[in-house]
Amino acid sequence: MKHWKETGEIVSRVADLAAAGRRAAVATAIRISGSSYRRPGAKFLVEDEGGTMGGVSGGCLEADVRVVAQDVLRTGTPRLLHYETGSDDRTIWGLGLGCNGSVDIFVQSATEPPLSDTLVAVRALLERHEGSFAIATLVDAPEGIGGSMLVDPRGVIAGSTGDADVDRRILQQIDGLVAAGRSRADEIGGKLVFTDVLSVPPRLFVCGAGDDSRPLVAYAADVGFSVTVIDHRSDYLTRARFPSARHLLQLRAGDDISALRVDGRTLVVAKTHSFASDREWVRSFLQAGAPYVGLLGPRARREEILGQIGADAPQVFGPIGLDVGADGPEQVAVSIVGELLAFHSTRAGGHLREKTETIHAV
């Protein structure tokens, strides 16, 4: 879900640069093996005047990629880069890195065709926030690289990889790719194709627009959740208080929420600081089928609420959050967002040092 947000920010910046007559290149991590800070699809924008946005690593590759991107802007020729750790001194191509992994990165101009044309359509899809889609790009082929096709499960939206057979094969597997939600590089007909899958972020409804909701909304939006704040008090429900929320919705606990279209990717935090209001929000969202409903307060408060609404609901998390010894609204917000991420990723939320497989392994 961070991928959707980061891509949107980069695409918007590209549009602004193009409108101003400026140029930029975008580097995309297309294949990663071993230890890595980022995942396939991570992007790094390099502007003609040196500004950057995003990243394809934890900071160890960006300086070198920036130099290559500037060369791509000068020559107009896309580049496929490979960085690998493996020598005894644990360096990547003399860069002095020790990540114990390999990364393939594709660099191309973002403000020139063919990518610039594709990004116009990508921006519209990102802003609509209505469905997942993918960008298939030819990144290694004898006859040329850089052609992109924008697709979703309904078919081609725009563009082409430049190879009709590759286009056809991508369409045959697009349902599975989008359902899996993972960007990946594949050999198709002897050519390397990177399919960048952009999955619509899960929605988070925060019921209660009190001051302690402000850091929660900010942090949750920053990591990629699509956040809606719900409250009946118009004075609390303002853009000045919640600038990063996607929607602000004036409703009272107990109002009809059928228009919210709650589904299996809808998460809820009830924090109105009113027992009766939290109880009604829990009742409404459980009836609507939300898989996660978080509650502030002790376990006894959760049990009392569930008892009053006659529900035995393991999807109600109360007390909400991970056990990090949080104190104050900001730390509590970190604890809650940590649990939301763990739930969304179906992880336990334990210490990474206790994980025996690679960090991003499912």
Q: How much is the mean pLDDT over the chain?
A: 91
Q: In what order do the strands lie in the sheet with 101-109?
A: 52-54, 43-47, 24-34, 101-109, 79-84
Omega before 319 cis (within 30°)? Answer: yes
The CA-based angle 118-122-127, given to 5 degrees, is 155
Which of 24, 58, 53 has its CA nearest to residue 39? 58
Q: Ramachandran region of residue 129, left (φ > 0), alpha (ψ -120 to 50) or beta?
A: left
The predicted pLDDT at position 89 comes to 44
Contact 152, 133 (CB under 8 A): yes
Percent of the chain with pLDDT over 90: 75
pTM: 0.87
User: For residue 362, is pLDDT > 60?
Assistant: no
Summarize the confidence of residues 224-229 as an average pLDDT: 97
Summarize the confidence of residues 63-86 as an average pLDDT: 90
Interatomic CA distance for residues 255 and 284, integer angstroms: 8
203-344: CATH homologous superfamily? NAD(P)-binding Rossmann-like Domain (3.40.50.720)
User: For residue 199, is pLDDT > 50?
Assistant: yes
Confidence of residue 358 (pLDDT cuts 50, 70, 90): low
Domain boundaries along the sequence of the chain: 2-109, 115-198, 203-344
User: For residue 119, is pLDDT > 60?
Assistant: yes
The predicted pLDDT at position 263 comes to 95
Summarize the confidence of residues 274-283 as an average pLDDT: 97
Summarize the confidence of residues 45-64 as an average pLDDT: 91
Summarize the confidence of residues 72-101 as an average pLDDT: 68
CB atoms within 10 A of CB 257: 21
Contact 104, 61 (CB under 8 A): no
- Report strand pairing: 133-140 vs 191-198: antiparallel
The predicted pLDDT at position 307 comes to 96
The predicted pLDDT at position 94 comes to 43
Summarize the confidence of residues 314-327 as an average pLDDT: 95
User: For residue 104, is pLDDT > 50?
Assistant: yes
pLDDT, tens digit, 9 for 90 and up, residues 297-314: 999 999 999 999 999 899
User: For residue 353, is pLDDT > 90?
Assistant: no
The predicted pLDDT at position 91 comes to 46
- Residue with the larger pLDDT of the pair 86 and 15: 15
pLDDT, tens digit, 9 for 90 and up, residues 139-169: 998 767 889 999 998 899 999 998 999 999 9
The predicted pLDDT at position 96 comes to 42
User: For residue 318, is pLDDT > 50?
Assistant: yes
Q: Which of 6-10, 98-102, 312-316 has the lowest mean pLDDT?
A: 98-102
The predicted pLDDT at position 36 comes to 65
User: For residue 209, is pLDDT > 90?
Assistant: yes
- Angle between helices 299-309 and 275-288 in degrees, nearest 10: 60
Q: Any bridge partners for residue 191, and if so which? A: 188
Q: What dihedral do alpha carbons 182, 188, 192, 193 form, nearest 10°?
A: -40
The predicted pLDDT at position 15 comes to 96
User: For residue 93, is pLDDT > 50?
Assistant: no
Confidence of residue 70 (pLDDT cuts 50, 70, 90): very high
Contact 206, 216 (CB under 8 A): yes
The predicted pLDDT at position 2 comes to 85
Contact 123, 181 (CB under 8 A): no
Amino acid symbol at 1: M
Confidence of residue 1 (pLDDT cuts 50, 70, 90): confident
The predicted pLDDT at position 361 comes to 57
Q: Ramachandran region of residue 275, left (φ > 0), alpha (ψ -120 to 50) or beta?
A: alpha
The predicted pLDDT at position 90 comes to 44
Summarize the confidence of residues 87-97 as an average pLDDT: 45
Which of 111, 101, 15 has its CA nearest to residue 58? 101
The predicted pLDDT at position 99 comes to 56
